[in-house]
Structure 1
């Protein structure tokens, strides 16, 4: 098992409390009988950006209220994907039962109640609120109860399950890249797959802006004026839509360029290009500004990402690839 992947089995409800709160945040946990036999199991992968956890355990009710949030803020959202059993989730005005074929996306720093039977076995994708809101303000405004039995929701459920199953065959950078794509699908499902997702022109405009930026991120001339011109709206309106979503055109473009560059650094087809050349091809004006932005976004350096990808492939790094 890799150094960033772990598994743990506990045999008491009290020990499980510690494991659960360590992963999901301080909470009040109630069980039918703390003296009764208990088995809880956790398998998880953690990178600097994402966590993916498979959990199973006995019957319990979890309450995370404002007091817990003040003392242990997490800044994270979780996608809960049940594989067996059933659970009840309540957050704000949204509530409902979820089991296999359903999913829930919720903000861990908003009060919630989570209850499940002894048969629950589920996978949770844990991501920072910053990464989620950068992709979709609609998704970040959850909670969202999602249909995982068909359409985009089914794709999300199957990708989540497969990602966990294949964890031993992924490097940390490959894991992050796969989670990036999974999060894109989660956002699309949240934007269009539930009654709780806001509708209307502004949400559609935001989605069109993000799609245009994703498709043209490597164009070094891309800016808010170019986005507005290409989509047929005024610069002011594009700025207003992005401001309401908690971002700016400049931030959105930079983030998409960083995602492109990270994928290229890990790709075998870009090994003959230097890091500076990849930065330039991904839309950055200088190697220095790229390296600074990359470290701020991902918590690691472009050189470390490239080194990790090459170590995984066993390739011999040449001088140009390491510059």
Structure 2
């Protein structure tokens, strides 16, 4: 059986490509099922044809995100109630076809996706994805907390997200560019791009990009996020200092962030943790101790950083640095 080709890059980011071209005809569907399940989660696979099946895919992966682009013959992927119980998976997937049509079913809802549209679905509930004839596309794996927190709910299937204009087109372009530049990205760069993609997806899923959305609060939220990103390392950054710097009341800022399920304090902590994560993976910051990183990223102490970091990422800063170095 043919082995996939893989190229690890700096800091744990890797690019892997595989295809059925060099696989014996009678092994092709098993080959495809095995790798799709290992990249995503356990599913049932229903193939229109077996020995003539053809498929290729490329996976880009870091410790936080995974982006898989694929092209294959017709196949139906089924996440049954039994598989949901046996193999829990609380993450999300954002699907967008480049060609052909995908049919998605979840929670008694159905979405037909053609190029220019995308959908967000959860794998913690049963679902079906029918890959039609001559379909190619991308599927972005997103940790549950990146969606549940900003949307302040367990997100249902968000269907028919328009990727042809406005914010949707920006998202589509960013995902496509992340794939096209796959060989030249570092872990920090890959994660930074997809952090922004997920942030924009949350706005699309809640309709915050619509002209009739509460425009003022949306504007406040966008400006606050930009301000926090630019000043996360400032130990004096608070909701009050943001309000003073941006010319809004603290109440306006609190209301804008409440709409997307967060607070000034939580937003500041999240951006600081992402800043530390990126610096832990950056070769230029290898000489900084964890204490140095804590103070340089706005935390009051190394212990405060370590506690918050483990709660957010499941490992300590030292452990993540060791994994990146390995």
Task: Compute the TM-score of the two structures, normalised by the length of structure 2.
Answer: 0.76
CA shift for structure 1 position 293: 3.0
How far apart, CA to CA, are the structure 2 residues paired with 1:14 and 1:308?
Answer: 32
Partner residue, 1:319: none
- Contact 2:100 2:132 (8 Å CA) reproduced: yes
Name 2:7's counterpart in structure 1: 2
Aligned to 1:320: none
Question: What's the counterpart of residue 84 of structure 1?
Answer: 99
Match of 1:153 in 2: 168
Match of 1:25 among 5, 19, 41: 41
The residue number in structure 1 matching 2:297 is 282
Aligned: 1:122 with 2:127: no
- Listed one character per residue, the Cα deviations across residues 63-116 of structure 1 (whole Å, up to 9, x for unaligned) are 213222111111110111211111111222542211221111111112222112
Question: Take 2:153 and 2:203, find their aligned partners in 1: how far apart are those partners?
Answer: 9
1:137 alignment partner, one of 152, 164, 167: 152
Give how far 1:182 is off. Answer: 1.9
- Distance in 2 between the 1:213 and 1:223 partners? 9
Displacement of 1:37 in angstroms is 0.9
Residues 304 and 2 of structure 1: CA distance in aligned 2, closer, same or farther (over 3 Å): farther
Q: TM-score, normalised by structure 1?
A: 0.76
Cα distance in 1 for partners of 2:270, 2:228 equals 10
Structure 2 distance, partners of 1:88, 1:199, is 29
Change in Cα spacing, 1:251 to 1:15, as seen in structure 2 (3 Å) is same
Distance 2:279 2:150 in 1: 20
Deviation at 1:145, TM superposition (A): 2.3
2:83 aligned partner? 68
Q: How far apart are the structure 1 equivalents of 2:108 and 2:233? A: 41
User: Secondary structure of 1:293's match?
Assistant: helix
Q: 1:280 to 1:157 in 2, by over 3 A?
A: same
Matches within 5 A, 1:162-177: 162-177=177-192
Structure 2: stretches of 5+ with no match in the other structure: 1-5, 9-13
Instruction: Name the structure 1 match of 2:199.
Output: 184
Gaps of 5+ in 1: 312-323
Counterparts of 1:181 and 1:269, CA distance in 2: 23
**RMSD of equivalent CA atoms:** 3.8
2:108 is the counterpart of 1:98: no
Match of 2:11? none
Deviates more, 1:262-271 or 1:152-161: 262-271
Partner residue of 2:56?
Answer: 41
- Is the contact made by 2:117 and 2:160 (CA closer than 8 Å) also made in structure 1? yes
- 1:314 paired residue number: none
Local SS of the residue matching 2:205:
helix
Judging changes above 3 Å, is the alpha-carbon distance between structure 1 residues 249 and 166 closer, same or farther for their aligned structure 2 residues?
same
Offset of 1:207 from its aligned partner?
Answer: 4.4
Aligned residues: 304
Alpha carbons 1:173, 1:308 under 8 Å: kept = no
73 and 139 in structure 1: CA distance in 2 versus 1, 3 angstrom threshold: closer
Q: Is the 8 A contact 1:146 1:193 kept in 2?
A: no
* 2:251 corresponds to: 233
Contact 1:129-1:140 within 8 A present in 2 as well: no
2: distance between equivalents of 1:162 and 1:169? 11
